A and B are shown apart, each in its own frame.
Chain A
Amino acid sequence: GESVGLHLPTLSVQEGDNSIINCAYSNSASDYFIWYKQESGKGPQFIIDIRSNMDKRQGQRVTVLLNKTVKHLSLQIAATQPGDSAVYFCAENKGGADGLTFGKGTHLIIQP
Chain B
Amino acid sequence: DGGITQSPKYLFRKEGQNVTLSCEQNLNHDAMYWYRQDPGQGLRLIYYSQIVNDFQKGDIAEGYSVSREKKESFPLTVTSAQKNPTAFYLCASNRAGPYYGYTFGSGTRLTVV
Residues on A facing B (Cβ under 8 Å): 2, 9, 31-32, 34, 36, 41-46, 49, 51, 89, 91, 93, 95, 97-100, 102-105
Contact = CB atoms under 8 A, between A and B. Distances in A.
A41 B107 contact: yes
B64 to A, nearest CB: 15
Question: Which of the four size classes fits the interface of chain B?
Answer: 20 to 34
Given A2-B42, A9-B40, A89-B42, A98 B48 contact: yes
**A2, A98, A99, A103: most-surrounded residue (chain B CB, <10 A):** A99
Main DSSP-derived SS at the B contact region: strand
A51 B33 CA distance: 22
Interface of B: 6, 31, 33, 35, 40-43, 45, 48, 50, 56, 58, 90, 92, 94, 98-99, 101-107, 109
Contacts of A100: 101-102
Contacts of A32: 98-99
A31 B101 contact: no
B98 A43 contact: no
